[in-house]
Amino acid sequence: MDIIELIQLGPVLGDGAMGTMLQIKGLKMGDCPEAWNLDHPEIVEGIHRAYLDAGCDFVTANTFGANPIKLARLGLESKLGDVVERGVELARRAAGQTRMVAGSVGPTGVLLEPYGDTPADEVKAAFRAAVKALDEVGVDFLLVETMTDINEARLAIEAAREVSKRPLAATMAFAKGAKGYRTVMGTSPEEAALGLVDAGAQIVGINCVGGMAEATDIMKAMVPASTVPTLAQPNAGLPEVGPVGVVYPETPESMGEGLEALLGTGVRGVGGCCGTTPAHIGKMAALLGKV
């Protein structure tokens, strides 16, 4: 059974944050999270195992920024294949053959022309290289995530379709403004659903949004606009700066309290993003009867 079949049965439970978990373990601002696949593999694998022990159905490989454009800014472009291979290997070793591994494909971090100075073909080539590496190692499905520009998201999906036949999910990040929920580039949830599906995504949704209540509001708009199953992986609320640094306010209990309403929108897959921990995922797993 692949992720498309599984999510249609639903609800599917993904894992939680990798980046903020690595920060807890010592990742410094400006460091490359994906390089920890090579430098601290035991920590990355341990995080995967903690989420699996909590009850999730899939873990996401630590490959979010593993594309040539992002890695080049850190002097690591030549390590793309090594970073991806090791990242997927760590996730697979933790997941075994009973649970799935998603290959994360995040944004390049550049602005496309005409808003920026990076040509679309350069960005698409970067996504093609990233997906090709993931496909060759053998992820169960591809997860294009945390996109804010629908045009960049489309390039990522189109690139994936050119080099891989793996199932593909795509999610975007939204925030609430004067016009309601939009990405920073102005795309609405409805427009995102239509655009992602049109580009070839088989699952669409959201991640890195400010908590369960926001996720529920967004999915109320996105689910009716989508012709494919949907996925929502919100943050543990909006980050706040406290005496000990950045903290996320939503507890496992408060995220659990919001789960019923989120599922009530018709979303078929849930999980967590920034600030969520194995405890958050464990609470969701218990409520879903997965543990």
**69-82 pLDDT tens trace:** 999 999 999 999 99
Closest CA to 61 of 135, 124, 129: 135
pTM of the predicted structure, to 2 decimals: 0.97
User: What is residue 241's predicted lDDT score, i.e. its pLDDT?
Assistant: 86
How far apart, in whole angstroms, are the C-alpha atoms of residue 286 and residue 282?
A: 6
4 within some domain: no
**Cβ atoms 285, 58 nearer than 8 A:** no
2 within some domain: no
1 within some domain: no
58 within some domain: yes
265 within some domain: yes
34-55: average pLDDT: 98
Domain of residue 39 covers 10-287
Q: Which residue is listed with tokens 């997941």?
A: 95
3 within some domain: no
User: What is residue 243's predicted lDDT score, i.e. its pLDDT?
Assistant: 79
248 within some domain: yes
> How confident is the model over 204-238, as pLDDT tens digits?
999 999 999 999 999 999 999 999 999 999 999 99
Distance (Å) of CA 155 to CA 149, 200, 201? 10, 11, 11
> How confident is the model over 130-162, as pLDDT tens digits?
999 999 999 999 999 999 999 999 999 999 999
* DSSP category for residue 118: B
Q: How many domains does the chain have?
A: 1
How far apart, in whole angstroms, are the C-alpha atoms of residue 22 and residue 39?
A: 12
Pick left, alpha or beta for residue 235 (phi over 0 → left; psi -120 to 50 → alpha; otherwise beta).
Answer: beta
Q: Which residues is 283 bridged to in the sheet?
A: none
26 within some domain: yes
CATH of the domain at 176: 3.20.20.330
